Structure 1
Amino acid sequence: MSAGGLQPFGPDLWLADGAQVAVAGFRYPTRMAVIRLAGGGLWVWSPVAFTDGLRQEIDALGEVRWLVAPNSLHHLFLGEWRAAYPQAKLYGAPGLAQRAGVSLDAELDDRPPPAWAGDLDQVLVHGNQITTEAVFFHRPSGAVLFTDLIQQFPPGWFRGWRALVARLDLMTQAEPAVPRKFRLAFKDRRAARAALARILDWPAEKVVMAHGAPVEHGGRAFIARAFGWLTR
């Protein structure tokens, strides 16, 4: 997937890879999703760095009405998108406003608002000390959208000591996995299991991650494997 270009990933769902970002000395790829809802408005998830080319592609699809920051770690480019689409409503995960100083129109919770309830379901994965992540299910495409709770970096992405840290953190497994730091940060596993149960009730076929290659088939079974450590 080329950086900046929208690529279809199912009915009314497009993905775009953005520029890399540096976090604590580690380079992370970035990915966003754009969903055209049944009413015609566009729902933008985890926006990447804003570019004129990306704007042209998105504007050709419809009107951006919602910007969604799915956890408190994905806020770097919200200012650019709010400036470009001042009419759009910004929804963010719990903790985002306090951590990033972002002014939200509404905070995400365990139920989708009426604006997108007909197309998407959502659940907050509670109990993690790093961040509370909102996970979404897009019914028309059968795709579940994870942000940081499942990750995978390709071989050779990290070098030297960073490669060792990434391997120990389970970020370079053969299959995308929940990083070890997130596993250890789940201090309320009962809450996490309750959220996972709801996610596994979705008839998921595909899985999108902000940091990892999308899964195109067998999404529900893939999610169950990724979180097997939580249910044992």
Structure 2
Amino acid sequence: MLKQRGDRCWTYEEPLRFLGLEIGRIMTVIRLSSGGLFVQSPAELTPELQSALDELGDVRFVAPASKLHGHLYMEQYRAVYPNAELLAAPGLPARRPDLQFDQLLGDTPDPRWAPDIDQVAIVGHRWLTELAYVHRPSRTVILGDVGFHIGEGSPLTTRLVARALRVYKQIGPPLEFRLTIANEASFRRSIQDVLAWEFDRVVPGHGEIIDTGGKRAVLEGYDWLL
């Protein structure tokens, strides 16, 4: 259920259909040096997933990638883990007024997870700011919608559409996202900040995980920008 991806880092993949296409989504779980769990893009909290998480530690932080990605099941985590803090991406509090958030995320990591995790706010898009994370001990970068990576394991229709959107076998945002970047210089600086990290693995928001060669894959996927 939870697959270990290096030192104190696990992923969990679940199906997701969007506009009739199966694109999947990925949750990342990091056990902090303090022992608590940092959960990014939380999946549906089934009894089986809850049991698996409880074996790893106490859920302390639940984080999205953006106001669109990784917030759907946050209320389940608040109900089951009342001491866990829900973290908000820019724009998410207005989108989810039903939730009480504990912190609004930006470029600076909280001191409680900063020893393990760094983060960058990817800015420059017309209406979306996304948070990218790096888990230093496992050399893993974690993305959302700026990191589609559809591969051969996806259904044929998904692969065909991904090819048209330029995210088939390459990592990056789909074409319509690229066309709605308002400030290309700011967006480029954000991606360069991600590339300044030391990492080898990339966990995309949708598609297939890149377990090795991730930095090269991001460079190649973003050659249109860089």
Matching residue of 1:157: 155
Aligned to 2:89: 93
Aligned CA distance change for structure 1 residues 8 and 132 (closer, same or farther; 3 Å): same
Shifted more, 109-118 versus 123-132: the winner is 123-132
Identity in percent: 34
Q: Aligned-pair distance for 1:94?
A: 0.3
2:216 aligned residue: 221
The CA deviation at 1:193 is 1.4
Q: Give the distance between the partners of 2:163 and 2:192, measured in 1 at CA.
A: 28
2:183 to 180, 183, 188: 188
Superposition deviation, residue 128 in structure 1: 1.1
What SS does structure 2 have at the residue aligned with 1:117? coil
Out of 106, 112, 127, the residue aligned to residue 103 of structure 2 is 106
Report the TM-score when normalising by structure 2. Answer: 0.92
Secondary structure of 1:185's counterpart equals: coil
Shifted more, 32-41 versus 219-228: the winner is 219-228
Counterpart contact for 1:42–1:62, Cα < 8 Å = yes
Quick one: which amino acid aligns to residue 183 of structure 1?
A: R
Aligned residue in 1 for 2:18: 23
Give the count of matched residue pairs.
223
Query: Which of 64, 69, 91 is residue 69 of structure 1 equivalent to?
Result: 64
CA distance in 1, matches of 2:135, 2:149: 22
TM-score when normalising by structure 1: 0.90
Q: 1:40-79 maps to which residues of 2 (within 5 A)?
A: 40-74=35-69, 75-79=71-75
CA–CA distance in structure 2, aligned partners of residues 71 and 84 of structure 1: 23
8 Å CA contact 1:30–1:211 kept in 2: the answer is: yes
Asked if residue 197 in structure 1 is aligned to residue 197 in structure 2, the reply is: no
Contact 2:150 2:170 in 1 (8 A): no
Q: What SS is found at the alignment partner of 2:171?
A: coil
Misfit runs of 4+, over 4 Å: 162-165
Return the alpha-carbon distance in structure 1 between the equivalents of residues 142 and 211 of structure 2. Answer: 12
Distance in structure 1 (CA, Å) of the matches to 2:225 and 2:96: 29
Q: Is the 8 A contact 1:130 1:182 kept in 2?
A: no
Q: Deviations over 1:101-137 (max 9, x none)?
A: 3431111101101110110110000011242110001
Q: 1:230 to 1:114 in 2, by over 3 A?
A: same
Contact 1:176 1:212 in 2 (8 A): no
CA drift of 1:163 comes to: 6.2
Which residue pairs with 2:144 in the alignment?
A: 147
1:49-88 residue CA offsets vs partner (Å, 9 max, x unmatched): 1111111111011110000011111221111121111110
Residues 120 and 7 from structure 1, CA distance in 2 versus in 1: closer, same or farther, beyond 3 angstroms?
same
Residues of 2 paired with 1:157 and 1:175: CA distance?
A: 16
Unaligned runs of 5+ in 1: none
Give the corresponding residue for 2:117.
Answer: 120
The DSSP-based 3-state class of the residue aligned with 2:48 is helix
Q: 2:30 aligns with which of 35, 38, 56?
A: 35
